[in-house]
Structure 1
């Protein structure tokens, strides 16, 4: 099996614009007592999560940093509502995308590296191919244009990691209190074969969640079906 990363195809001249955020989210951490760093990642998102059963819903509506104890309290409130296989970190976003968009767009939309949208008809075609792990979630994106497309967000589980050989040899271990690594995404990525999921054709990396990875089955289906909007770059595996 071969693996690829996804990027926006800027050569097609699609000039669509999206301004959006998820409806809810966990706060970042304010000066972790372990590493002394205030941080929030935010690349992990679960648009299928409905937080309306949570009594203190307002605690998840405003992006901010909180002491780690408050972050952990709020994390435990949402954990039972997360999809199987979900991992959370400070800044994890939840619920549907809200905002505005203006086209045109391709069949697949990767305007941001960590976010993948698809026209409803494009996702239907891919799911009909039997590809695994394609979960489309409704958005609350608004558009004033006539006959605007229905855009769904792909919920991508974080699995798979980069191989240690492509990471700095002198890297520090993660913070024992908050788990922060503080590593920069390497230019020459190498996927760790022992961590690759066998049940998904589309996923995001666990350790570098801005990176979306797909299998050659996904690439072949997109090319055969003529689904545009993204490019695919081979990803080395070891």
Structure 2
């Protein structure tokens, strides 16, 4: 689907709200939110506005945004935290509760609908990560505004990312970068807790500089 204003086509796989429940919609309407190609932009806008009250205020809903629990088949062993994609973080129930007990802010884990063949499968939660924060202008001097029609903006990740201190949230220790949704940002508090609890088994952290105005 191409936007009639900015002409960008395609969508994102890095924006998901697993807590959003669409079961109140008729089955035929629910199917319209499955992964597919919508050719009618007017219909896309209708579907987008229909679910907007169900997500946090001000959240962009780009084409490709997913709603509801993660489905699919799962196998193998899962550590405390697992990335199934660079932008999709799963966490086992006990580590999630221990991180919450550490006082980390804004953590939201949602049950998945993954299917395991083995007995006693782990209870995996998908982290719902809201978009917050931006790149600093020193690493991204040209920052296009979001399209007023489809809400997307065409950004490339800088080779050496720098975060804008003024844009970072004070109520979230784990979030997506609003300017680049496939990048998950963790605060120093989150990283320290994960390392102290020995949960850094299947993930790796990269320190990013933060710069003020």
- In 2, Cα distance between equivalents of 1:176 and 1:185: 22
| Aligned partner of residue 66 in structure 1, secondary structure | coil
**Partner residue of 1:88 out of 61, 64, 69:** 61
| Aligned partner of residue 125 in structure 2, secondary structure | strand
- Normalising by structure 1, we get a TM-score of 0.81
- In 1, Cα distance between equivalents of 2:97 and 2:58: 23
Q: More deviation in 197-206 or 38-47?
A: 38-47
| Match in the other structure for 2:196 | 224
Does the CA-based 8 Å contact 2:20-2:68 persist in structure 1? yes
| Match in the other structure for 1:189 | 161
| Match in the other structure for 2:174 | 202
- Normalising by structure 2, we get a TM-score of 0.90
Distance 1:165 1:111, change over 3 A: same
1:97 equivalent in alignment to 2:70: yes
Runs of 4+ residues deviating >6 angstroms: none
Distance 1:83 1:177, change over 3 A: closer
How far has the Cα of 1:176 moved from its partner?
Answer: 4.2
Aligned residues: 208
C-alpha distance after superposition, 1:176-199 (max 9, x if no partner): 432332222122111011100001
Calculate the aligned-residue CA RMSD, in Å: 1.7
Which protein is richer in strand relative to its size?
Answer: 1
| Aligned partner of residue 165 in structure 1, secondary structure | coil
Map 1:1-238 to 2 at 5 A. Answer: 30-55=1-26, 56-84=29-57, 86-167=59-140, 169=142, 173-227=145-199, 228-238=201-211
Q: For structure 1, which runs of at least 5 residues remain unmatched after alignment?
A: 1-29
Does the CA-based 8 Å contact 1:98-1:139 persist in structure 2? yes
Q: For structure 2, which runs of at least 5 residues remain unmatched after alignment?
A: none
- In 2, Cα distance between equivalents of 1:85 and 1:125: 30
